[in-house]
Amino acid sequence: MTIMIGLEAVIVAVTEGIPRILSVRHTDHALSPPEHRPLAQPESPDALPFGPLDPTADCTLDQALRGWVSEQTGLPLGYVEQLYTFGDPYRDPRQREGGPRVISVAYLALTRECAPAREQNAVWRDCYTFLPWEDWREGRPEILGSLIEPALQQWLQTISDPQRQRRQHERVDICFGFSGSSWDPERVLERYQILYEAALVPEAWPEQPHSAPTAASPGRPMALDHRRILATALGRLRGKLKYRPVVFELLPDTFSLSQLQEVVEALSGVRLHKQNFRRLVEKGGLVEESGETTFSTGGRPAKLFHFRREVLRERPAPGLRLPGRN
């Protein structure tokens, strides 16, 4: 069996309170060589920027990733970390026809949004277009009650083994906050995995031929297993907010505390109490005043702050222990 190593990038920015990811569109798997790749069509699914590792030309995985992203989007990458390795059989459907088994190393990259310069089929999209049940900033998402909960209850009833049904019922309640369970923002991948197992997302239908596709599926689908990769990245990013100052990679050099809170809320998917949040930031020594102000808030001039880099030496985990939702 031939094995191909691929590289994917979940490139995240937050613009005007919207968490955005960069996507590209191709009708074929972009791991195929560029000269064999057909032109993108409007109906082709959104995909993450991705490409193959060239074992002879690429000295490192990181170098290869940056090269592919630059080629497909024209964007240079700043902060990058390895996310996870995805190697399930048949994640590229061409494997069933004798093609290679594709093992992908995914990366999380944080940047500030700018227009893709070279690849006209690269576009920024709202992250919650793909994962709409993850955005609780305006309260419990309507899609949970109107579509997801009824569909999952129906799926649970199809499980014939009573013990397995109870376990799955508990799993659904804990992950989605049903039956009085609390909502855990970090369980992003677990929630997507449940929807996949219940065949509620189109990506699962080729793998479950005996499942009848639902009339409506939650969220915009992505190519191959890229929505699973996106869910993995969002869960990782939400977790890192607690112990790494990664949020400052998404902000300009100077920012107001309102801007900082807006970015944290966009990534976590929840609203935060304004005064509690500010006390948390100031107590943690994460920022310092720049001596400048801004009138962009529309009211009184707001102080501007810098990220205080000294905190990296002072604390082993200088993140944001987020307070509860409003």
Calpha distance 226→224 (Å, rounded) = 6
Q: How many CB atoms sit inside 10 A of residue 284's CB? A: 17
Q: Are 67 and 58 in contact (CB under 8 A)?
A: yes
Q: How many CB atoms lie within 10 A of CB 170?
A: 12
Query: Under DSSP, is residue 139 helix (H, G, I), strand (E, B) or coil?
Result: strand
Whether residues 118 and 22 fall in one domain = yes
* Domain of residue 168, residue span: 135-207
- DSSP-assigned beta bridge partners for residue 3: 101
pLDDT reported for residue 120: 55
What region does 139 belong to: left with phi over 0, alpha with psi -120 to 50, or beta? left
Shared-domain flag, residues 25 and 120: yes
Q: If you count DSSP H runs as helices and E runs as strands, how many of each does the chain have, helices first? A: 10, 9
| 285 CB-near residues (< 8 Å, 6+ apart) | 308, 310, 311, 314, 315, 318
Number of domains in the chain: 3
Please list the residues that pair with 80 across neighbouring strands.
Answer: 109
* Co-location of 298 and 177 in the same domain: no
The answer to whether residue 318 scores a pLDDT higher than 90 is: no
CA 66 to chain centre: 19
Q: What is the per-residue pLDDT for 324? A: 47
Same domain, 18 and 159: no
- Let me know if residue 11 belongs to a domain: yes
- Considering the domain architecture, whether residues 88 and 44 belong to the same structural domain is answered as yes
CB 106 within 8 A of CB 85: yes
The reply to whether 230 falls in a domain is yes
| Per-residue confidence band for 71, with pLDDT thresholds at 50, 70 and 90 | confident
Residue 32 lies in a domain: yes
- Based on the fold, state whether residues 56 and 125 are members of the same structural domain: yes
- pLDDT value, residue 44: 72
80 and 141 fall within a common domain: no
- Tell me whether residue 65 is in a domain: yes
How far apart CA 277 and CA 265 sit, in angstroms, is 11
What's 107's domain CATH number? Answer: 3.90.79.10
Where helices occur in the chain by DSSP H, the ranges are: 61-73, 127-130, 142-143, 149-157, 162-176, 188-197, 226-240, 257-268, 274-283, 311-314
- Taking CA atoms, 65 is separated from 48, 58, 231, in Å, by 12, 9, 20
Please, what is the average pLDDT of the chain? 85
Residue 217 domain-assigned (yes or no): no
My answer on whether 8 and 89 are in the same domain is: yes
Q: What is the largest CA-CA distance in the chain?
A: 66
pLDDT tens digits, residue range 17-70?
999 999 987 645 444 434 333 434 445 789 998 888 888 888 888 888 888 787
- The percentage of residues in the chain with a pLDDT greater than 90, rounded to a whole number, is 52
Residue 232 has pLDDT above 90, yes or no: yes
Closest CA to 154 of 227, 206, 215, 231: 215
Residue 36 included in any domain: yes
102-158 pLDDT tens trace? 899 999 999 988 877 655 578 899 999 999 999 999 999 999 999 999 999 999 999
Pairing of strands 3-15, 50-52: antiparallel
